[in-house]
Amino acid sequence: MRFGAAVIVLLVLAALASGIAVVYARQMHRQMFIQLNGLERERDDLNIEFGRLQLEQATYAENNRVEQIATGKLGMATPNGKDVVVVRP
């Protein structure tokens, strides 16, 4: 009789604890999910920034632009055949 009552109390307590644990886990899950979302957004933003920088670099490194700066501003030229010495190892 007493043993039975003790079992019931124990079970009730266990059920309570399990219920609270479920609530806690759920709460944790949501918090982690929010954190995940935040990090993903951060990752996306960084990716976007990376894409923009790549575009910028591609624009600056555009052959036409490089060529114009090289020949116009820096006075560079492709060497003529007479200016090139062929060396073999």
CB of residue 14 vs other proteins: minimum separation in angstroms?
23
With CB under 8 A as the contact rule, the residue among 5, 58, 74, 77 that binds other proteins is 58
Residue 75's region, left for phi above 0, alpha for psi from -120 to 50, else beta, is left
- The verdict on 37 binding other proteins (CB under 8 A) reads yes
With CB under 8 A as the contact rule, the residue among 6, 7, 51, 68 that binds other proteins is 51
With CB under 8 A as the contact rule, the residue among 12, 14, 23, 30 that binds other proteins is 30
Q: Which two tokens stand for residue 4?
A: 């039975």
User: Measured at the alpha carbon of residue 88, what is the angle toward residues 86 and 89, in degrees to the nearest 5?
Assistant: 150
Q: Which two tokens stand for residue 36?
A: 């995940």
